[in-house]
Structure 1
Amino acid sequence: MHTLTHFASPQLPLLHRGKVRDSLRAPSGDRLIIVTDRLSAFDSVLETAVPHKGAVLNGLADFWFEKTKSIIPNHVLKLVDANAMLVREAQPIKVEMVVRHYLTGSMWRGYQAGQRTFSGVTLPDGLRKHQPFPEYLVTPTTKEESDREITPESLVSEGWVSQELYEQMRAKALALFQVGSELLREKGIILVDTKYEFGLLNGELILIDEIHTPDSSRFWSADDYARNPEGVEQMDKEYVRQWLIANKQDGQYPRALTPEVAREASRRYLDIYQRITGQPLPTAEADGPDAPGTGRHDARARLLANLVRAGLMQDAWVSIVPGSAADKEQGLDICRQLQGYGVFTELCVAQQSEEEITNQAEEWNSSIEPGVIIAVNGLANGLAAALAATVSLPVISCPPWEAGAGPDLNSGSSAMPSGAPVLAVVSPDQAAQAALRALNLPRLRQRLSQEIHVTKAKLRAAKAEFRTL
């Protein structure tokens, strides 16, 4: 299965990596949110990703943001890819506004155990599982290491929000829930409960994060609920949670899903997307109607192409790593040699610590686009060898030879360790050309072929002129 489990690029600084979403800084200063296919359950991320899950969440959030923008502005600028959304940078309010219409989930479990007050809302005795409330309830929680129930009064007294801001958030949350419930009711779906997150942009309250998705909301089939209210099955990731509970061993949940469970989870995500929007997920490719998520689409390649098309990044990068501050000028020379080829170049900080290099190597190794590393250092200091032993990408060494000097092929470190190959070149222009060839992009091959053709033509002309002398 082709899934998007991780996003990294030297071109886009990472702001935050959550359980499902990766947030990065776009060149414009806005925030780029990548919704991956990772799945979290019981406060941990499973090793198995669910095909199409990220695109379903991102697509549904965009659908609902558009439907509710008349109620409250939101942070969306544009949908860049099925898994990517460019949004305005807002100041997040560290409070989740949870709206509930039925007694279920954690509230029901607390109620069974004798709890009657939830975030300042007191329930009477004698209620049944999945019983609807006479009116929608708002039970806020704080966004901390683990969400904490809190009363509106405590939110204000503890300084999370002002009284005025809380009342505004509460009113908007109830209005959003009302619109969502009405639209879903027409499609035979019950919006059981959900959470909303808000932020401030230039002092104005806006809606952020996600809205009415299977990860932020609980859905029931109206027909299923009518038949069996207390046994109704959820139309969200509860299927996975129940499988984890059923397969718990020695107090530990499984870390991975079986292929069959992953496929069924994918089918359910795709089904809820189509039921809500009325259209199948555009990017979903399946081998058959009963096996979604087994198609041969490549989410990473599509995502990269769309980010490049949107002007948010280049399709390849070259990182130049100087061994010391004295090597910086040669690194800048290589950068200049690469100008005009449409490749992102960066000059890394000289003399990084081992931890910094290791962290950088993790980003390089998992980058969504191809890349090349150029070490600007003498062969003897071993920087190129250390990089080649750490990364899975081409490494080029371009030592800053002194005038008239050349490479010392007898240098003790010119023989690299097994499995850590390094290409050594003797000038910045050769380093740049070697990097372009190592990237092996079709557009670069075509460009370089044209340059080679021009160079050969010039050589033939020079030879012909020489023969006439």
Structure 2
Amino acid sequence: MNTLPHFATPQLQLLHRGKVRDSYRIDDTTRLIVVSDRLSAFDSVLDTAVPHKGAVLNGLANFWFEKTAHIIPNHVKEMIDANAMLVKEAQPIKVEMIVRNYITGSMLRGYQKGQRTFSGVTVPDGLVKHQQFPTPIVTPTTKEESDREITPENLVSEGWVSQELYDKMAEKALELFKVGSDLLASQGIILVDTKYEFGLLNGELILIDEIHTPDSSRFWSAEDYAKNPEGAEQMDKEYVRQWLIANKVDGKYPRALTPEVAQEATNRYLDIYQRIVGQPLATADETATGGNVANRLVSNLVKAGLMKDAWVNIVMGSPADKEHCQKIRSFFEGYEVFTQLRVCSAHKNGEEIGPMAEVWNRSIEPGVLIAVAGLSNGLGGALAANVNVPVISCPPWKDYAELAMNLNSSVIMPSGTPNLTVVRPDNAAQAALRALNTPRLRERLRQDIAATKAKLKAADAELKAL
């Protein structure tokens, strides 16, 4: 399926990889948030990505941020792509403000076991499944490795927030919930419960993360609820949760969804988007029309000036090889390719190559590695054994004996380690450009070749005329 299960690039600094969202540094005041098609359930990310899910979440969040900007400022700067937005760099408040208007989910399970107080809010006896509260309630939790219920008083006493800040967060959460509930009600949807996350920007409280999406909220069909409150259809990822529960084996949930379940999940995400926004997701037909999510995302990031469409990492075994690496790098000027110098020892495979290889192997755009190391050329082989991108070795050499030794080590590489050796720095760069094999670079190289031929032809004509 055409999905975006993962986003990685050596061109941007990763700040945080969440269950669904990945955040990258753009500058001191801006970060890029990419919403993947990953799906999490029961504190675990499933192996199956759900088509269009990331675009639905990103689009809905942007829709709601615009609808609620009059209540509280938010972190959105610009939508870059269906799956990505630029946001203001804010200091996150490690508290989730959960607003509930019905007793369901984890609260219902606790209630059925005799619990009556939730995050400092006491509810009466005699409530039944899915019963509406007289007014929405706020039940905050901490944002830790495992979120926990906590009273407002303890949030203050433990130093999470000040009393004044908590009061403002609670006030804004209830205002946001009312706007969301009213708009959704007009579409035949009940906003059952949701979470809000806040941050501080220059001392001002702002809204961050997401708002009123199928991943952060619970939705019911108003029509279904009116007919059978306890059996109301949940218009969110609860469908996937219930499938996982029904298919547990030896107490363990499945790691992957069947194609049919993944497709139904997609249908539900697209449906809730259209019902809320009032029009279909703009990229909903991408799969059918042969589009590619990753290619579209890279194209839009390039248009926004946030990255190049391809990269070359020049990896040296020692800082002593920096001059040689810089010489290779100079031959990429004018080709609009991201280049970067890295230092990595062939003898520290797991420690150094491993983390780098994770980014190189998963990079959303094409890339090439150029290995620069001395005798035996072990770095090129070590890289080739760990990465799925082309590796070209261009070792520095002082005499033909050194060159012969490096060439020999290259041609006897074991199976599965295709390390290519190029002697001249300019040819190493040219080989990398060809290995990237993008349409833009192929056209540019075609023009370069044509220009070279024309120059030679002109030189030949000039000599003939002598």
**Could you state the TM-score of these two structures normalised by the residue count of structure 2?**
0.96
Matches within 5 A, 1:1-400: 1-26=1-26, 30-285=30-285, 296-351=290-345, 353-354=348-349, 355-400=351-396
How far, CA to CA, are the matches of 2:406 and 2:394 in structure 1? 16
Whether the 8 Å CA contact 1:3–1:49 is kept in 2: the answer is yes
Contact 1:325 / 1:350 at 8 angstroms: preserved in 2? no
Contact 1:196-1:211 within 8 A present in 2 as well: yes
In 1: Cα distance, 2:343 partner to 2:393 partner = 16
Q: Is the 8 A contact 2:373 2:379 kept in 1?
A: yes
Does the alignment pair 1:440 with 2:437?
A: yes
Q: Distance in 2 between matches of 1:125 and 1:394?
A: 66
Counterpart Cα distance in 2 of 1:426 and 1:249 = 57
The alpha carbon displacement at 1:297 in A equals 2.9
> Which residue is equivalent to 2:409?
413
CA deviation digits over 1:104-153, x for unaligned, max 9? 11111111100000000001111111111111100000001111000000
Are 2:450 and 1:453 equivalent residues in the alignment? yes
* Distance in structure 2 (CA, Å) of the matches to 1:451 and 1:44: 50
- Distance in 2 separating the partners of 1:189 and 1:264: 19
Q: Give how far 1:362 is off.
A: 1.5
Residue identity in the other structure for 1:333: K
SS of the aligned residue for 1:413 comes to helix
Identical counterparts, % of pairs: 73
Which residue among 398, 402, 407 is the counterpart of 1:402? Answer: 398
Q: Which residue of 2 aligns with 1:289?
A: none
2:406 & 2:127 partners in 1: Cα distance? 84
Work out whether residues 102 and 130 of structure 2, in 8 Å CA contact, stay in contact via their aligned partners in 1.
Answer: yes
What is the distance in 1 between the residues matched to 2:39 and 2:450? Answer: 51
Question: Shift of the alpha carbon at 1:294?
Answer: 6.3
Instruction: Return the alpha-carbon distance in structure 2 between the equivalents of residues 460 and 56 of structure 1.
Output: 56
Give per-residue Cα distances to partners, 1:181-237, cap 9 Å, x unaligned: 111111111101000000001111000000000000000111110000111121101
The answer to whether the Cα contact below 8 Å between 2:377 and 2:406 also exists between their aligned partners in 1 is no
Q: Which moved more, 1:307-316 or 1:444-453?
A: 444-453
> What's the secondary structure of 2:97's corresponding residue?
strand
Q: 1:186 to 1:220 in 2, by over 3 A?
A: same
- Give the SS at the match of 2:403: coil
TM superposition shift of 1:379:
5.0
**Selected match of 2:425 from 423, 428, 433:** 428
Question: Does the CA-based 8 Å contact 1:328-1:350 persist in structure 2?
Answer: no
SS in 1 for 2:409: coil
Separation of aligned partners in 2, 1:29 and 1:4: 26
Structure 2 CA distance for aligned equivalents of residues 409 and 395 of structure 1: 18
What TM-score do the two structures reach when normalised by structure 1? Answer: 0.96
Distance in 2 of aligned mates of 1:244 and 1:276: 27
Whether the 8 Å CA contact 2:218–2:234 is kept in 1: the answer is yes
Alpha-carbon distance, 1:429 to partner? 1.2
Cα distance in 1 for residues equivalent to 2:218 and 2:257: 21
Q: Structure 2: state its 5+ residue gaps.
A: none
1:29 CA displacement: 5.1
Deviation at 1:405, TM superposition (A): 7.1
Unaligned 5+ segments in structure 1 are 287-292
Deviation at 1:459, TM superposition (A): 1.4
8 Å Cα contact 1:406/1:426 also seen in 2: no
1:342, distance to aligned residue in structure 2 (A): 0.4
In structure 2, what residue type is equivalent to 1:360? M
1:26/1:59 CA distance change after superposition, 3 Å:
same
**Do 2:375 and 2:402's aligned partners in 1 also have CA atoms closer than 8 Å?**
no
Q: CA deviation at 1:333?
A: 1.2
Q: Distance in 2 between matches of 1:347 and 1:340?
A: 18
SS at match of 1:147: coil
Partner SS for 1:320: strand
**Aligned counterparts of 2:463 and 2:354: Cα–Cα separation in 1:** 54
Change (3 A) 1:98 1:320: same
